Amino acid sequence: MSLIVVGSVAYDGVETPHGKVDRMLGGAATYIALSAGYFTKVGIVAVVGDDFAKEDVDLLSSRGFDLTGLERVPGGKTFFWAGKYSPDMNDRETLRTDLNVFADFNPKIPAAYRSSPYLFLGNIQPELQRSVRAQMNGVRLTGGDTMNYWIRDFRPQLLETLKQWDFLLINDAEARQLSGAYNLRRAAAKILDMGPHTLIIKRGEYGAILFRLDTHFMVPGYLLEDVFDPTGAGDSFAGGFIGYLAGQGISLQEGEIDQAELRRAVIYGSVMGSFCCEKFGVDRFRTLTREEIEARYQEFKTCTAF
Amino acid sequence: MSLIVVGSVAYDGVETPHGKVDRMLGGAATYIALSAGYFTKVGIVAVVGDDFAKEDVDLLSSRGFDLTGLERVPGGKTFFWAGKYSPDMNDRETLRTDLNVFADFNPKIPAAYRSSPYLFLGNIQPELQRSVRAQMNGVRLTGGDTMNYWIRDFRPQLLETLKQWDFLLINDAEARQLSGAYNLRRAAAKILDMGPHTLIIKRGEYGAILFRLDTHFMVPGYLLEDVFDPTGAGDSFAGGFIGYLAGQGISLQEGEIDQAELRRAVIYGSVMGSFCCEKFGVDRFRTLTREEIEARYQEFKTCTAF
């Protein structure tokens, strides 16, 4: 496997102005893997209950993912989350969070995964993220996500974890909370002092910004005509970003940085995030082709070049 | 004169998290002209009271503006607006609006202005905007701004006015209100049906989008480290956009469109809007040089190219 993805595999209940689905495949690791799978070989580390449906395993298998690390807990139930989006879909309310088997998730990295060069740590407890990193041998590029809960209540652990990361990929609210600075340029400078040499701040419909010590790169959000369901868009962005880097064999270590490839990775992230919103849940990834991805990449170029 | 700018010249009271100024030069036409003046020769059409200070006339004169169209009403008072920004400066509350002489503004275009090829109609009553257009001979490019009040209460007049415009430059909330569509791509399609062949939607800190029938161009907002006062940023954008087109002698008429120049105009608009926020009121324009403008234009390229 080229890329190891650690995080939640879940069922989601989602309501948007376009409709309502009571239960469908979701979870950060699911979206990250489905998105990254267009660019590289992926191994998943996650936990599910024995209610996890065969058709969902089949979808993941059909992409060639290594599922050795997908632990199934007998008698357990899969993590369930339900939420409802505001009419403009820029906000959402969590209606239900049943952690179930995810509450005791203690990721074990299968032997066959340990020499993989790329590692993406989805949004889980920072100490678990660190323990995963410690189980890897010779990883070339480590990065991940986090969230408000860990930033607020597990700050020392999170700061310890971040020291080992090459990149951090979070949204603007999280960047502000983590840094204590409202202004994104100042926030980025503070975060780049915490360890990661690369920071990607996602801004939802407004795009994303890539920060490094002396430079930044901004991409506007793709202008969709219909946003059906934004669930998983940020994770799909992450999958496109890390997936592209892994697929190209790119390292972000200091001294061997290819700025142009890094920017392309941000665009592929944006492309994958935009596709994700076009249908409910993971549905867009059931039919999406690499040709459509390339066409949208070109569209980004056409819509931003001057 | 190459460009005629019609709109308010005013005094503003502004409070932001960075400070408070009780009374300073402001008004849409002021910002538009000061910004456009870096690119082209400008004639102003506006009205002030006899409280309008000599130092403010001097600032405008120092830029070589033709002030023949700056009417001074004896015994009248200049339009006064006061507002207070929210802590994140994305919202503002109007504390006071004294229209004063602006209430009876009935723009008369001086004979020397009438053959000018470029016309920018600032945010005034739509019928007045139309009457100005009618006073011009051989204008090559007309565009302007409007606001929620005219969209809601003067809709038929506004729609009649828009039929004659080449471009409309408004913010996202106005575009949604005018079109009745929340999605900006759909909103743009509806507005381009109303007359203007070019639409620029300003998104504040998130940048701007240029729409034409079959294409759009997105630019992210410049990432400032300190936003002191956003007042006038949108008008400064307008000044940079129309000023650049006027300075280059560019027409937007169908059949003779230079897409690349149009995109450059949007970037210059973004550049000028970003500079405006760096100091209170018009202060940044007192020292800003053309060299700084070019440097920031290049910065936009560096931060967005891939």
Q: Render pLDDT for B85-127 as a digit per residue (tens, 0 to 9).
A: 998 888 899 999 999 999 999 999 999 999 999 999 999 999 9
Compute the mean pLDDT over every residue in chain A, rounded to the nearest whole number.
96
> What ipTM did this prediction achieve?
0.94
pLDDT-based confidence at A191, cuts 50/70/90?
very high
Is residue B224 less than 8 Å (CB to CB) from chain A? Answer: yes
Does pLDDT of A253 surpass 80?
A: no
Give the per-residue pLDDT at B163: 98
Contact of B263 with chain A, judged by CB distance below 8 Å, is answered with yes
Q: At which residue do the structure tokens 């609006």 appear?
A: B97
Can you tell me the mean pLDDT for A243-252?
A: 91
B215 closest CA partner among A158, A260, A304: A304
Residue linked to tokens 């409309």: B168
Residue of B nearest to A207 (CA): B220
> What is the nearest CA distance from B113 to chain A, expressed in angstroms?
33
Whether residues B183 and A226 touch (CB distance < 8 A) is answered with yes
Give the CA angle between residues B234, B237, B243 to the nearest 5°.
140
Average pLDDT (A227-253) is: 93
Task: Single out the residue of B243, B289, B297, B306 nearest to residue B270, CA to CA.
Answer: B297
What pLDDT sits at residue B257?
Answer: 72
Share of chain A above pLDDT 70, in %: 99
- In DSSP notation, B11-45 reads EEEEEETTEEEEEEEE-HHHHHHHHHTTTS-EEEE
Q: Which of B218, B264, B301 sits opposite A220 (nearest CB)?
A: B218
Can you tell me the distance from the alpha carbon of B285 to that of B287, in angstroms, rounded to the nearest whole number? 5
Q: Which residues of B touch A186 (CB under 8 A)?
A: 225
Residue in A closest to B260 by C-alpha: A306
Quick one: pLDDT band at residue A1, thresholds 50, 70, 90? confident
The torsion angles phi and psi of B281, rounded to 5 degrees, stand at 55, -135
Q: Is A90 on the interface with B (CB under 8 A)?
A: no
A45 alpha-carbon distance from chain centroid = 14
Is 0.90 surpassed by the pTM of this model? yes
Residues of B in contact with A270 (CB under 8 A): none
A93-144 pLDDT per residue, tens? 999 999 999 999 999 999 999 999 999 999 999 999 999 999 999 899 999 9
Measured CA to CA in angstroms, residue A183 lies from A172, A179, A188, B191, B224 at distances of 10, 10, 9, 33, 8
Confidence of residue A255 (pLDDT cuts 50, 70, 90): low
* Best residue in A86, A271, A296, A306 for a mutation probing chain B (most B CBs within 10 Å): A306
Residue A91: is its pLDDT beyond 90?
no
Interface list for A 126-155 with B (CB within 8 A): none
Q: Which residues of chain B have pLDDT under 50?
A: none
What pLDDT sits at residue B137? 95
Q: Across the interface, do A306 and B217 touch by the CB < 8 Å criterion?
A: yes
Q: What is the pLDDT of residue B258?
A: 85
User: Does A261 have pLDDT greater than 90?
Assistant: yes
Phi/psi-derived region of residue A88, left when phi > 0, alpha when psi is between -120 and 50, beta in every other case: alpha
Query: How many C-beta neighbours within 10 Å does residue A248 have?
Result: 15
A-facing residues of B in 183-212 (CB < 8 A) are: 183-186, 203, 206-207, 209
